[in-house]
Structures are given as C-alpha cells and as structure tokens.
Amino acid sequence: MGFGHEHQRDDRDKHILFNCDKVSGYQQSLDKLMSADRPPPQQLAHNLLCNDWRTALSVGSTIYDFVYGPTQKMFGSFDKDSIMHYGSEGFSDKTLCTPSTPCGCPITTIDGEYIWPKSRVSAGDAEAAREIYPWPGPALPQPKRGINYRA
C-alpha cells in the first residue's frame, strides 16, 4: 500500500519500547560490526546498530526493520492498531518472546505489555490510504449486509 511501519516512526518511542538486543540475530550482527578493521567501541556499535538504518543494513541485520525509516512519511498520530505495526514476536526468538514473557520481545507497549499481531486494516490505515490514493470518482457503493460478494 505504500505505508511505512508504525514502529519505525520517529515518534514511536513515546508509544512502544524497542528492545534491539531481543531481535533475532542481534548478537551475530553486533559481532559482524565489531569484526571490522577499525571497530567502534562496543556501546557505540550497539547504538549504531539499533538506531542507524545504514549500519543495520550494512551488516545485513533484520534490525533494519525496526530502525527509524529513512523515507518514512507519517500519517496522523501513532496507530497502535495499524496492520503496519509488528506484533511483539516479529523477528524474535519465539522461545523467549511470548505473551507471558514480553520482556524477551523486540517491541512491547510503553508499559512492557505484549503487542498482538494485527490481521485487519485499522481506521487510521484506511484514512492514510484515502490520503495517498484519493478517489476522484463517484462514491463507492456500500456493501449490503447478508450478501456474499465473493460468489
């Protein structure tokens, strides 16, 4: 649809916690960064890997999917219900990230709660789609209840 991920918005830290070291492959990515000819200090390497999309991409890390997006256009306010928002277990070690152990997850709510994956377009997604792809034609007919349009 042309949307960026909600968890890559530059205001995401007001709404979710990103636990970079919980992304599957974090340690391998950090090790790769530290094996450079002139590696940065470990804390700087961690910060670059977790906050700079170029660094995450340069080591082939899936952390790139969480870092603030370089071309992210924000529509409206943060939409926790967006289909473009990863659930807590996205790119996680599934044995460590569960609804009962959200502390092992890459992302949680700001209160540390598990975020369930979404399966439906939210009202905010629909509004953003209308902004990106305005419909110049006549109003579309509304589906009637009880009619199966798939037949």
Residue ranges covered by each domain of the chain: 6-132
Return the pLDDT at 112: 96
Return the pLDDT at 148: 58
Return the pLDDT at 133: 86
Biggest CA-to-CA distance, the chain? 66
- Walk along the chain (151 residues) in steps of 10 and give the mean pLDDT of each run: 82 95 96 94 96 92 85 81 94 95 97 96 91 79 62 48
| CA angle, residues 128, 122, 5, in degrees to nearest 5 | 65
- Residue among 54, 70, 80, 66 at smallest CA distance from 24: 66
Q: How far is CA 126 from each of CA 60, 76, 105, 134, 145, rounded to the nearest angstrom? A: 32, 11, 28, 11, 20
Q: Could you give the CA distance from residue 33 to residue 126 in angstroms, rounded to a whole number? A: 40
Helix 42-51 with 26-34: angle, nearest 10 deg? 120
Q: Could you give the CA distance from residue 136 to residue 103 in angstroms, rounded to a whole number? A: 47
Q: What pTM was computed for the model?
A: 0.80
